[in-house]
């Protein structure tokens, strides 16, 4: 049986034809992205790269589009640089960023606020990058409706972990989401901003993993943060939006509440399928918090 941690020979051959001889190739642990990533080192100068294979043609197309048309707006050092792509292998070679994922770094409250203030500036640049085509604008506007339409399925999977009151609350969130039609659009990261942030010991974070990037209502990018970190540290949320350059409008705030609740239901359902009690408990906490906020 082939060792899944070894770089497959066809990929290594393509990478070496592009970069030159490699002296090391190490598969990285799975993160928030479903892609497979190897850390590779070029022998001639010890330069480090990531060789990334997308899980699907769609993910490959989204990420290569992002790196070519949106990510350059973030500026040098703020995101990986695309070196080469192979549609045959659904692969891309990216420059490797220094540091570690922000979620794995212990920071003081003050340092975390500073990092998120700078992250807000970075995300604002991404959201304003590029101009959507008519098709992309139509698809972006339809995304929120698709998320709302998935709510009954997730609620059914959650079964008796949702009370009748919970179920009604979730359906109200989904219905409300469908009538919010003036949400600002932009080019979003799509994969969870916090999970995509990388920190190297300076106040300036970098952003990676663009395989879910697309044009969409920008509020979608804030759901994972509202689901976790911002609920526990509201001053970090304030710092982020100070960097972002604006606060959310009234409809965006309503949309964020709805999207966070629907994300909780999805997380609850998926946690039950995986027998992940931590995910189930976190989702339950978020749902109860949202219900208390609206007086349910």
At 30, the pLDDT band (50, 70, 90 cuts) reads confident
pTM over 0.85: yes
E strands in 10-117: 22-27, 36-42, 48-53, 82-86, 91-95, 100-101
Q: Which residues contact 14 (CB under 8 A, 6 or more apart)?
A: 86, 89, 91
Give backbone dihedrals phi and psi of 4, rounded to 5 degrees, phi first.
-65, -15
114 and 71 both lie in a single domain: no
117 and 39 both lie in a single domain: no
The Cα 177–Cα 17 span in angstroms is 49
Give backbone dihedrals phi and psi of 166, rounded to 5 degrees, phi first.
-60, -45
pLDDT tens profile 116-172: 999 999 999 999 998 888 888 888 878 888 999 999 999 999 999 999 999 999 999
- Helix axis angle, 250-274 to 164-178, nearest 10°: 130
- Please answer whether residues 211 and 59 qualify as being in contact, where contact means their C-beta atoms are separated by less than 8 angstroms: yes
Average pLDDT along the chain: 92
168 and 281 both lie in a single domain: yes
Place of tokens 């330069």: 47
Question: What pLDDT sits at residue 131?
Answer: 82
The Cα 198–Cα 191 span in angstroms is 14
Question: What pLDDT sits at residue 32?
Answer: 63
Task: Give me the domain span that covers residue 50.
Answer: 9-95
Residue count of the chain, please give it. 296
- Please answer whether residues 186 and 127 qualify as being in contact, where contact means their C-beta atoms are separated by less than 8 angstroms: yes
154 and 84 both lie in a single domain: no
Query: What's the number of domains the chain is made of?
Result: 2
The Cα 262–Cα 255 span in angstroms is 10
105 and 67 both lie in a single domain: no
23 and 144 both lie in a single domain: no
Place of tokens 């609740």: 261
CATH code, 210? 3.90.1200.10
105 and 90 both lie in a single domain: no
* Residue 1, domain member (yes or no): no
pLDDT tens profile 67-124: 999 999 999 999 999 999 999 999 999 999 998 889 888 999 999 999 999 999 999 9
CATH code, 27? 3.30.200.20
Q: Is 195 exposed, middle or buried (0-12, 13-18, 19+ CB in 10 A)?
A: middle
**Of 80, 95, 110, the domain-final residue:** 95
At 228, the pLDDT band (50, 70, 90 cuts) reads confident
163 and 43 both lie in a single domain: no
162 and 195 both lie in a single domain: yes
Cα 151 to chain centroid, rounded: 20
* Residue 53, domain member (yes or no): yes
CA dihedral 42, 46, 48, 49 (to 10 degrees): -10
* Residue 231, domain member (yes or no): yes
- Please answer whether residues 116 and 228 qualify as being in contact, where contact means their C-beta atoms are separated by less than 8 angstroms: no
157 and 117 both lie in a single domain: yes
E strands in the chain: 22-27, 36-42, 48-53, 82-86, 91-95, 100-101, 185-188, 197-199, 206-207, 214-217
The Cα 175–Cα 255 span in angstroms is 11
Of 145, 140, 116, 117, give the one whose Cα is nearest residue 130: 140
């Amino acid at each position: 049986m082939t060792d899944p941690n070894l770089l497959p020979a066809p990929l290594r051959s393509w990478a070496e034809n592009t970069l030159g001889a490699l002296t090391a190739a190490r598969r990285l642990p799975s993160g928030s992205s479903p892609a497979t990533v190897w850390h590779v080192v070029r022998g001639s100068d010890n330069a480090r790269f990531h060789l990334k294979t997308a899980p699907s043609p769609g993910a490959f197309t989204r990420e290569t589009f992002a790196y070519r048309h949106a990510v350059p707006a973030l500026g040098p050092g703020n995101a990986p640089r695309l070196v080469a792509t192979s549609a045959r292998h659904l692969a891309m070679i990216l420059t490797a960023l220094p540091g570690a994922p922000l979620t794995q770094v212990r920071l003081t409250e003050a340092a975390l606020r500073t990092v998120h203030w700078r992250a807000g500036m970075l995300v604002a640049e991404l959201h304003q990058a590029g101009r959507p085509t008519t098709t992309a604008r139509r698809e972006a506007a339809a995304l929120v409706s698709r998320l709302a339409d998935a709510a009954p399925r997730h609620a059914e999977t959650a079964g008796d972990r949702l009370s009748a009151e919970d179920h009604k609350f979730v359906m109200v969130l989904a219905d409300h989401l469908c009538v919010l039609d003036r949400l600002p659009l932009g080019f979003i990261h799509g994969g969870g901003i916090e999970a995509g942030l990388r920190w190297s010991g300076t106040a300036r974070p970098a952003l990676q993993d663009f395989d879910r990037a697309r044009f969409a209502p920008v509020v979608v990018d804030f759901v994972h943060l509202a689901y976790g970190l911002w609920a526990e540290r509201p001053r970090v949320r304030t710092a982020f939006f100070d960097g972002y350059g604006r606060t959310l409008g009234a409809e965006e705030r309503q949309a964020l509440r709805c999207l966070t609740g629907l994300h909780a239901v999805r997380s609850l359902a998926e946690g039950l399928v995986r027998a992940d009690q931590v995910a189930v408990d976190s989702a339950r906490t978020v749902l109860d918090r949202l219900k208390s906020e609206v007086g349910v």
